[in-house]
Amino acid sequence: MRRRKKTMACKCGGCHYTLNAKSSFDRDLAKTRKFLLRNVSALRMFTNGFFRSKWRSVAANRRIFSMDAREKSRSTILESSKDKRVPIFVMMPMDAFALDASGSPRIRKIKALTVSLKALKLAGVHGIGVEVWWGIVERFSPFDYNWSLYEELFKLISDSGLKLHVALSFHSNVHSSNGKGGVSLPLWILEIGDANKDIYYRDRYGFSNNDYLTLGVDQVPLLSGRTALQCYEDFMLSFVNKFESFIGSVIEEISIGLGPSGELRYPAHPFGDGRWKFPGIGEFQCYDKYMMEDLKMAACRVGKPQWGDRGPQNAGCYNSFPSGVPFFEEGQESFLSDYGRFFLEWYSGRLICHADAILAKAAKILKKYQEDEQTSVMLVAKIGGIYWWYQTVSHPAELTAGYYNTALRDGYDPVVSVLSRHGAALHIPYSLSQRKG
């Protein structure tokens, strides 16, 4: 049996893999159970079976472990965690459900899924990771929440004796689903976007990305009388009210979507629409009219109104390399200039404020559960794994994604400070290019 050459690390409550309900587990169950009983902190990955690599992350006081293809049946674990059990979560695949002709969601091959869940429990898996999509639950009209799919799915998982990591997903995965369907934003949001494309992020060419609402509408009541923040808050409240009996007992972790792919970042490297290819530096995404209005006000506040007309004009394009791009080199008109520092502080600062606002609402909603140890649930936030061009001084791929992190500046400290203030754990996934390649 071939093993993939991947390095894994624990995610918040444990390590996440992907569940494929269509695969047969019987032939490997005895071997896997024996392996897990010997060392529950590592799980063999099956090339054509249940498990394939999904996430890498570090959170709270959870322990990191790695598994290398050269190691036969043991994992290399940090010395401090040798005697600790690392709970393993398996990610529910997108094709576990489908939309019928009326647009209503349903679980596919429910008998096979039930058998798979029981097999996972027997193998020592702790829980299942499930994405809860805004575009499914509030699909047709505002405040019309349909939780039927998740009521059935959560009961199925709970009856199997497994726990839940729930990811509240306010983004779309249509462009990243490789032509296999996917979940869009709610249809009523798309209707508003058809009339006003500025509710989405835009690049300097005017192309919009409808995978996630621009943070420029966080405080603007354009969504049937609500702001984006109010939509997210209402969704979280409805979720908690619906699944209150599960929180803290079955639902152990709740991840809050903060941007494209659920990550706190700008869609600077759009995947699947042909604009960007790895390892391009990407482009700044601040050209919707609401963010441009905010940029103008910020420029006026520092006494430089001319800085508010547009983003950097010498920053290359999606597929540029840093060399030869003035903004990402050291010079008078670079990221080190007065204008460069102003723009990057504004651009990254708006992203941090976006996270701060959403996580504050989430923490407030979950506060009563945190006060009771028996119902305590972990709040989780995800950032992007933007690693390419890290060896350059400017770290351009990180800058366009919204992380003001360079060889001369720590751009992640403000991010983790916000998470810490709201008691949220940090989830660092594989980047799109890592998952693809």
The pLDDT value given to residue 54? 34
Q: What is the pLDDT of residue 285?
A: 97
Q: What is the Cα–Cα distance from 412 to 435, expressed in whole angstroms?
A: 22
In whole angstroms, how large is the CA radius of gyration of the chain? Answer: 22
Per-residue pLDDT of the chain in tens (437 residues, 90 and over written 9):
433 333 333 333 444 444 443 333 343 444 334 333 333 333 322 223 333 333 333 333 332 222 233 333 333 334 444 456 788 899 988 778 877 777 778 888 889 999 999 999 999 999 999 999 999 999 999 999 999 999 999 999 999 999 999 999 999 988 776 656 689 999 999 999 999 999 999 999 999 989 999 999 999 999 999 999 999 999 999 999 999 999 989 999 999 999 999 999 999 999 878 899 999 999 999 999 999 999 999 999 999 999 999 999 999 999 999 999 999 998 888 999 999 999 999 999 999 999 999 999 999 999 988 777 776 899 999 999 999 999 999 999 999 999 999 999 999 999 999 999 999 999 987 644 443 33
pLDDT score for 38: 33
Work out the number of other CB atoms within 10 angstroms of the CB of residue 248.
Answer: 17
Quote the pLDDT of residue 199: 98
Helix (H, G, I), strand (E, B) or coil at 430: coil
What pLDDT was estimated at residue 83? 52
Sign of the torsion formed by the C-alpha atoms of 268, 18, 11 and 155: positive
- Please identify, in words, the CATH class of the domain defined by 126-188+215-276+351-436: alpha beta
CA distance from start to end of the chain: 21
d(CA 42, CA 73): 9
- CB-CB neighbours of 306 under 10 Å: 8
Q: What is the full DSSP assignment across 29-95?
A: HHHHHHHHHH-TT--PPPTTSS--B------TTPPPEE--TTSSS--EE-GGGTTS---EEEEPPGG
Listed in sequence order, the residues at least 6 apart from 31 whose beta carbon sits closer than 8 Å to its beta carbon are 44
Q: Which of 286, 189, 292 is nearest to 235 (CA)?
A: 189
Predicted local distance difference test score (pLDDT) of residue 180? 60
Q: What are the tokens at 77?
A: 């674990």
Q: Which pair of tokens denotes residue 292?
A: 């441009």
Among 170, 190, 173, which Cα is nearest to 236's?
A: 170
Q: How far apart are CA 110 and CA 396, in angstroms?
A: 46
Q: Which two tokens stand for residue 252?
A: 């152990």
Please state whether beta strands 208-213 and 378-383 pair in parallel, antiparallel, or not at all (unpaired): unpaired
C-beta separation of 180 from 95 below 8 A: yes
Q: How far is CA 169 from CA 57, 160, 281, in A?
A: 18, 24, 26
Q: Which residue, chain included where needed, has tokens 């809860």?
A: 132
Beta bridge partners of 17: 53, 90
**Amino acid type, 356:** D
Q: Assign 331 to helix, strand or coil.
A: coil
Neighbouring residues of 161: CB distance < 8 A, sequence distance ≥ 6: 121
Question: How is the chain split into domains, by residue range?
Answer: 126-188+215-276+351-436
**CA 33 and chain centroid, separation:** 31
C-alpha–C-alpha distance, residues 437 and 428, integer Å: 18
CA 239/CA 261 separation, integer angstroms: 20
Write out the two tokens for 394. Answer: 């400017």
Residue recorded with tokens 């008078």: 332
How high is the pLDDT of residue 271?
Answer: 81
Mean pLDDT over all residues of the chain?
81
pLDDT of 153: 95
Predicted local distance difference test score (pLDDT) of residue 86: 82
CA distance 203 to 224: 25
Closest CA to 427 of 64, 56, 63, 171: 56
* φ, ψ at 366 (rounded to 5°): -90, 0
226 alpha-carbon distance from chain centroid: 24
Choose among 317, 312, 348, 346: nearest CA to 331: 312
Q: How far apart are CA 43 and CA 87, in angstroms?
A: 10
HSE-up of residue 356 (Cα within 13 Å, Cβ side)? 11
- pLDDT at position 307: 96
Q: Model confidence over 207-266: pLDDT tens digits?
A: 998 999 999 999 999 999 999 999 999 999 999 999 999 998 999 999 999 999 999 999
pLDDT at 239: 97
